[in-house]
Amino acid sequence: MNLIFDVHLDLSLNALEWNRDLTLPVSRIREVESGMTDMKGRALNTVALPDMRRGGIGLCVATQIGGCMKPRASVACWESPAQAWGMTQGQLAYYRALCELGEMVQITNLAELESHLALWADPVAATAAHAPIGFILSLEGADSIVTVDYLERAYASGLRAMGPSHYGVGRYAMGHDQVGGLRPGGAELIRKMDELGIILDVTHLSDDSFFEALDIYTGPVWASHSNCRSLVNDPRQFSDEQIRLLIERDAVLGAVFDAWMMIPGWTRGTSTPESTGVKIAHIADHIDHICQLAGNTNHVGIGSDLDGGFGKEQSPGDLDTIADLQSIEGILKGRGYSDADVSAIFHGNFLRVVRRAWS
């Protein structure tokens, strides 16, 4: 079993907004949620810590998320920056509680990273030993950074990556569903990220904000959960021009498993995995497209976004839990990818960005 480094999981959102005990297996959470109708994806969840271990996902980027975007989003969105900051601090407290329980361990520097990778060198043995899952802390959308000075507090708490925007009109940058560049304070925020060494996550940025941010930021970049616009034509995806620029910056893009981003023609709220035939194998099309643009396998990884506001109703039809990400190995090898290629995509490429950021 190959170690998977999944660079986008909204674990604290699931725990605190949707009241899921992620120390339980996915199957047990589904039993608890049976009959609930308060949100889509109830009893259709795919992510929990036992299933992550079973799938060799021993390392992840775990998010904080609390916005005040306009128009207001349906989850993780508040009326003021102070409220949003409070939400992210509750999420941080949740992660710290999991660490105290031995379920997870926060990774903030190279020594901690290498020690954790040694622990998970054999994912089967690590799973059998109930080894803690490592996480690097990221902030999805910067609205909760009350003032730019708050970024230093966040860094001191272990924040190591951040995306300046999410959906809608953000405080510092425009979301992908908007038109326009960085907002007042956005350039200052990105310069402060650069100063502190916080990785810039360009996912969810509008096209104008994307290019402006990259003009300002000089450090390591990634796109934690983004697919290809040439395959699924939507502003949420990246154009070939953007992907080529990311390749030039030695960035890595995380393949995302939200079904509407995997195949063209998906209508949210109407389409289903059964009606469209979407399968895990479709993600290989996006992986392969990035590899063809790059001429190598160095710029794509896994950023599943599973249970990021959706469940099995909006996931590949042959994915039951996050453990099924391991099946990507056979799919890629069937397309001619080598063992070394698979290891790079599963963990090596994103680890390269982290090591460069922390060196």
Q: Which residues of 99-130 are buried (b: 16+ CB within 10 A; e: fewer)?
A: eeeebbbbbbeeeebeebbebbeebeebbeee
Q: So what's the pLDDT on residue 1?
A: 95
Q: So what's the pLDDT on residue 247?
A: 98
Q: How many domains does the chain have?
A: 1
Q: CATH number of the domain at 295, please.
A: 3.20.20.140
| pLDDT digit string (tens) for the chain, length 359 residues | 999 999 999 999 999 999 999 999 999 999 999 999 988 889 999 999 999 999 999 999 999 999 998 888 777 889 999 999 999 999 999 999 999 999 999 999 999 999 999 999 999 999 999 999 999 999 999 999 999 999 999 999 999 999 999 999 999 999 999 999 999 999 999 999 999 999 999 999 999 999 999 999 999 999 999 999 999 999 999 999 999 999 999 999 999 999 999 999 999 889 999 999 999 999 999 999 999 999 999 999 999 999 999 999 999 999 999 999 999 999 999 999 999 999 999 999 999 999 999 99
Q: From CA 112, how far away is CA 356, in angstroms rounded?
A: 15
Contacts of 75 (CB under 8 A, 6+ apart): 13, 17, 309
pTM over 0.95: yes
Contacts of 137 (CB under 8 A, 6+ apart): 61, 62, 63, 64, 92, 95, 106, 108, 157, 158, 159, 160, 161
CA-CA distances (angstroms) from residue 220 to 37, 215, 240, 248?
A: 42, 13, 20, 11
Which stretches does DSSP call E strand in the chain?
5-9, 59-64, 104-106, 133-140, 159-163, 199-201, 221-223, 252-255, 300-302
Cis peptide before 184 (omega within 30 of 0): no
Q: From CA 294, how far away is CA 242, in angstroms rounded?
A: 12
Q: From CA 342, how far away is CA 2, in angstroms rounded?
A: 8
Range of the domain at 77: 5-358
Q: So what's the pLDDT on residue 182?
A: 97
